Chains A and B, each alone.
Chain A
Amino acid sequence: MKALLLRDLRLAFRSGGGFGLGLAFFFLLSVLVPLGVGPEGGTLGRIAPGILWIGALLACLLSLDRIFALDHEDGSLDLLATAPIPLEAVVAVKALAHWLVTGLPLTLIAPGLAVFLNLPAAGYPWLILSLLLGTPALSAIGAFGAAITVGLRRGGLLLSLLVLPLYVPTLIFGGEVVRRGAEGMALGTPLALLAAISLGAAALLPFAAASAIRVNLR
């Protein structure tokens, strides 16, 4: 399993592996929003939590179809399905690899982009914490979506149609944590619920994803 994780990470960092694409997208979005909304600091500060969370979500979405598609094309997914480790574990490891190359870097550069969006100072620690707790859910849900669409030729568009509604609760609680943090309000409840979604998704969705892959490989 460690070998699988390392292999996935190596593939992601290789040229054309898609690492950096999500980050660049996230960066661009944070630059484009002020250009569209106007430079007024108060407005930007108020919408910053939502924009940053939506940016993270969309950046995550960009690389989802890579989780299984490449392995499906060259047949290594069939090998993994018949390998001695359970397919559920394979899914979990791949979701983890996806998080390490998208969710984690997104979390790390988010504070820098928050400067562009004039996020109030009190919001920074909560921005990092909420993304750290929330992005694993994005990867786990995304891996499920990718597993459903893996056999389809033009799965990319469908993938976003399937996955984005599933992202709603994560987005709501994540944005709420940062907004409340920025306004100095109590945020224990949304933070706990965000963590609960991540844990629940990481624990249960690999099973759903694995059964979807089995169907697709049949």
Chain B
Amino acid sequence: MSIWEYANPKKFMALSTRALPWAVGLTVVLLAVGLVWGFFFTPDDYKQGSTVKIIYLHVPAAMMAINVWIMMLVTSLVWIVRRHHVSALAAKAAAPVGLTFTLIALLTGALWGQPMWGTWWAWDPRLTSFLILTLFYFGYMALWAAIEDPDTAADLTSILCLVGSVFALLSRYAVNFWNQGLHQGASLSLDRQENVSNVFWLPLLVCIAGFALLFVTMVLLRTQTEIRARRLKALLARERVA
């Protein structure tokens, strides 16, 4: 029994249908615990005041925004190498989820930045990279939407995802370089894991797990929808022929 068994759409449907209720339940529990804990039962930071509560949304969303793209890269590679349809459809299903996380990260970042840095937006390398990541998500989804034939679409989007990943990485470093060139990097990064104390760290962990599971749930459900849509299309085509 290998993992490739689940590349069979039927097996995937059976497994995901069994797994979905658990994923939904776990997502709801983790998000509720993490966010309620973070929102109601953590103290204010001495420097950031109550805005520190935004961390429970911002950091998980930002992490997932990047991880979703990596997941799309892996599933695209699997499609190119082994040509499992479920893999290509999972990549397609993940893109809107990744885009949503990217937008959440940008929005909460802006809302946090306004009182903390005194501006909604700064062309800080990290922020700029995220904006560019948004563009990549848009391009990827637009390409899926534009191509009629599903196998062609899967092939072309996979190629775009591979090339895009290289360029997204390049952009990340280019942007680092670009801002440094103008003015010394005002170290704007949030207190990251290293210097976040346990009071904030534990609920944050729960929230990260919650966002990750939210992603899993969404992808399972969306991939199911994609598989059903494919089957629907095939049946309709058969009907036209008959």
Over the window 140-163 of chain A, the binary record of Cβ atoms lying under 8 Å from chain B Cβ atoms (1 yes, 0 no) is: 000010001101101100100110
Q: Determine the chain B residues whose CB is within 8 A of the CB of A155 once the complex forms.
A: 146
Q: Are B143 and A172 in contact (CB under 8 A)?
A: no
Q: Write the nearest CB–CB distance from A55 to chain B, whole angstroms.
A: 19
B178 partner residues in chain A, CB cutoff 8 A:
172, 176
Q: Which residues of A contact B135 (CB under 8 A)?
A: 164-165
In the bound complex, do residue B143 and residue A158 qualify as a contact, i.e. CB atoms below 8 Å apart?
yes
A133 to chain B, nearest CB (A): 15
Of B143, B155, B160, B174, the residue contacting A173 (CB under 8 A) is: B174
Residue pairs across A and B with CB atoms within 8 Å: the count is 78
Q: Is A161 a contact partner of B138 (Cβ separation < 8 A)?
A: yes
Interface range on chain A (Cβ under 8 Å from partner) = 20 to 34
Known pairs A165-B139, A211-B159, A216-B152; A152 contacts B147 (CB<8 A): yes
Chain B residues in 8 Å Cβ range of A148: 143, 156, 159-160
A197 in the interface (beta carbon within 8 A):
yes
| Chain A residue at minimal CB-CB distance from B162 | A208
**Is B107 on the interface with A (CB-CB < 8 A)?**
no
A6 within 8 Å of B (CB atoms): no
Q: Which residues from B are CB-within-8-Å of A80?
A: none
| A residues 189-212 touching B (CB-CB < 8 Å) | 189-190, 193, 197, 205, 208, 211-212
Flag if B177 contacts A189 (CB, 8 Å).
Answer: yes
Chain B positions within 8 Å of A184 at CB level: none
**A11 sits at the interface (CB 8 A):** no
In contact, B163 and A205 (Cβ under 8 angstroms): yes
CA distance A104 to B177 in the complex (A): 27
Q: Is the interface of B mostly helix, strand, loop or mixed?
A: helix
Neighbouring B residues of A149 by C-beta, 8 Å: 146
Task: Identify which of A152, A161, A197 contacts B170 (C-beta below 8 A).
Answer: A197
B136 touches A165 (CB 8 A): yes
For A156-191 the 0/1 string (1 means CB < 8 A from B) is 001001101110110011001001100000000110
CA distance A142 to B24 in the complex (A): 43
Closest chain B residue to A180, Cβ basis: B181
- Proximity string of chain B (21-58) to chain A, C-beta cutoff 8 Å, 1 when within and 0 when not: 00000000000000000000000000000000000000
Asked if B181 and A176 sit within 8 Å, CB to CB, the answer is yes
* Interface contact B177-A172, CB-CB below 8 Å: yes
Which of A151, A152, A169, A190 is the most central at the interface, judged by chain B CB atoms within 10 Å of its CB? A169
Task: With A158-B142, A189-B177 as known contacts, state yes or no: A215 contacts B156, CB within 8 Å.
Answer: yes
How near does chain B come to A4, taking the closest CB pair, in angstroms? 23
Tell me the count of chain B residues lying within 8 A, CB to CB, of chain A.
Answer: 27
User: Inside 8 A of B177's CB, which chain A residues have their CB?
Assistant: 172-173, 176, 189-190, 193
> Does A218 make an interface contact (CB < 8 A)?
yes
A165 to B168, CA, bound (A): 8
Bound Cα distance A154, B148 (Å): 12
* Residue interface mask A69-82, B partner, CB < 8 A = 1: 00000000000000
| Distance of A208 Cα from B157 Cα, bound (Å) | 12
Tell yes or no: B164 within 8 A of A by CB: yes
**Cβ contact within 8 Å between A165 and B152:** no
Whether the Cβ atoms of B147 and A166 lie closer than 8 Å is: no
Of the candidates B155, B159, B171, the one whose C-beta lies within 8 Å of that of A168 is B171
B160 and A162 form a contact (CB under 8 A): yes
Answer yes or no: B202 CB below 8 A from chain A CBs.
Answer: no
Q: Can you give 30 A-B contacts (C-beta < 8 A)? A: A148-B160, A151-B147, A151-B152, A152-B147, A154-B146, A155-B146, A158-B143, A161-B139, A162-B142, A165-B164, A165-B167, A165-B168, A166-B163, A168-B171, A168-B174, A169-B170, A169-B171, A172-B174, A172-B178, A173-B177, A176-B177, A189-B177, A193-B174, A193-B177, A208-B159, A212-B159, A215-B152, A215-B155, A215-B159, A216-B152
Q: Which 9 A-B pairs have the closest CB atoms?
A: A169-B174, A165-B135, A172-B174, A215-B155, A169-B170, A168-B171, A162-B139, A172-B178, A166-B167
Given contacts A169-B170, A169-B173, A176-B181, 9 further A-B contacts (CB under 8 A): A158-B146, A165-B167, A166-B167, A168-B174, A172-B171, A176-B178, A180-B181, A193-B177, A215-B156
